[in-house]
Structure 1
Amino acid sequence: MRIAIAGAGAVGRSIADELLDSDHEVLLVDKSPKAIKVEVVPRAEWLLADACEISSLDDAGIQRCNVVIAATGDDKANLVVSLLAKTEYGVPRVVARVNDPRNEWLFTEAWGVDVAVSTPRLMSALVEEAVSVGDLVRLMRFSQGEANLVEITLPPEAELVGVRSGDVTWPQDTTLVTIVRGTRVIAPSDEDVLEDGDELLFVTTQEREEELEEMFSVRPQGPARGK
């Protein structure tokens, strides 16, 4: 894939390195001469330009890109880049960095954003994910379709422990995408049996999250012996 990254700071360069390691074509765009450090990411293409201007995006050949990543440190710039990439050039996938969590509500499909990545929210979600068992943790929001990536760790006493994945009727608009079991990452099939401690990743809508979480409720305790 061809991917353009607006913002060649530390974040943009790190993303570029990861994508280049996966054999993608990467173009880094930044309006600051100080940010143009070709020697740091020599495998990438570089363009000194303002990604908020249509003439710059024309020069960058944005219309040929499969993905645009708005990764500057300025939320206003990231929104403008996202909107132009989607509406003017029809880029299939637009990912935008949210610097200030108070601005997260703006990063929607209306501004051309397919996926909004908020570092503070993601870090807090990862903390919750590490300590929460049986509670739904929202990891990421996808603007298109109002879908979210969520995680639930299966408690030992949950009714779903020992049940085949194919025998579970998940809520409407909900898909189990991954099971993380210890060091293994499992692409779930109908034959996979859910185990205590499994970390289950779902794509679901916000209105289905409560229904999904209820499915992981702990079995009611029976009466104590001798009573």
Structure 2
Amino acid sequence: MKKQYAVIGLGRFGSNLAKALYEGDNEVIGIDIREDRVEEFQHDLSQAFIADSTEEASIKDLGLRNFDVVIVAIGDDMEASILTVVLLKELGVPHIVAKALSKRHGSVLSKIGADQVVFPERDMGLRLAHKLMYPNIIDHLKLSDHYSIEEIKTPASFVGQTIKSMDIRAKYQLNIIAIRHSDEAVTVSPGPDYSLSAGDLLVVIGQNKKLKVLSKLWKDS
């Protein structure tokens, strides 16, 4: 079943998010106060509207309370962002996601009713720093303050070894939950006798401190 999303603010973050949701076969409307942005993306979304999200009448006319998720992706106007979240909350929007410009801004958004607050600039910076420090890590997904999933290159010294002989679970308390192959095929929950090949990427889950130890050991591989 298709979900309905509304994205308020069609700057770089909002427009890319809206297009990705639309390409995922969802109904997506984009909203921006600037006519040029709406015109630019009107053919990439289900619909696009020019509207001031800080005006209650505009929000009501768009029927946003009927959408599954409304994302407030307003760029650099903190006041407009806060007022928009307040209006959406008052209208009974079931799930509100809001982009925060700073930690304080994020705290305010949470207190006034945003169900989820995101920090795209901060998160992008953290991901880049992580990749620069650990170039053998292809991707990193933070699950909590203590646990993550990482996609790690298989070191040359491990090629030909089996999951059992690597003994990652016993040595580092980490689990290999999948292996992505060079042809993009994926082996989920590989068995202990699976033999690693050159080009395999290991999808590993576990404590951040244990993943860091593993990354340091394989850093120069």
Which band: TM-score by shorter chain? 0.5 to 0.7
Structure 1 segment 70-81 matched on structure 2, within 5 A: 70-74=72-76, 76=78, 77-78=80-81, 80-81=83-84
Q: Do residues 132 (structure 1) and 137 (structure 2) align? A: no
C-alpha separation in 1, matches of 2:61 and 2:83: 17
TM-score normalised by L of structure 1 = 0.61
Q: Which amino acid aligns with 1:189?
A: S
Q: Give the count of matched residue pairs.
A: 203
RMSD: 4.5
Give the Cα separation in 2 of the matches to 1:106 and 1:198: 38
Measure the CA separation in 1 of the matches of 2:180 and 2:104: 30
Give the Å deviation of 1:37.
Answer: 0.8
Cα distance, 1:34 vs structure 2:
3.6
Corresponding residue for residue 91 of structure 1: 94
Aligned 8 A contact 2:139 2:152 in 1: no
Cα deviations by residue, 1:190-216 (Å, 9 ceiling, x for unpaired) = 5374847625365x7xxx421443466
Gaps of 5+ in 2: none
Relative to the length of structure 2, the TM-score reads: 0.62
1:188 match: 188
Corresponding letter in the other structure for 2:37: A
More helix by share: 2
Q: Distance in 2 between matches of 1:177 and 1:115?
A: 29
Which residues of 2 match residues 108-119 of structure 1 at below 5 A? 110-111=110-111, 112-114=114-116, 116-119=118-121
SS in 2 for 1:213: helix
Percent identical among aligned pairs is 18
SS of aligned partner of 1:51: coil
Q: Point out where structure 1 has 5 or more consecutive residues left out of the alignment.
A: 220-227
User: Are 1:19 and 2:18 counterparts?
Assistant: no
Residues 181 and 78 of structure 1, relative CA distance in 2, 3 Å threshold: farther
Q: Distance in 1 between matches of 2:4 and 2:60?
A: 15
Q: CA separation in 1, counterparts of 2:12 and 2:131?
A: 26
Alpha-carbon separation, structure 1, partners of 2:81 and 2:177 = 29
What secondary structure is seen at the aligned counterpart in 2 of 1:37? helix
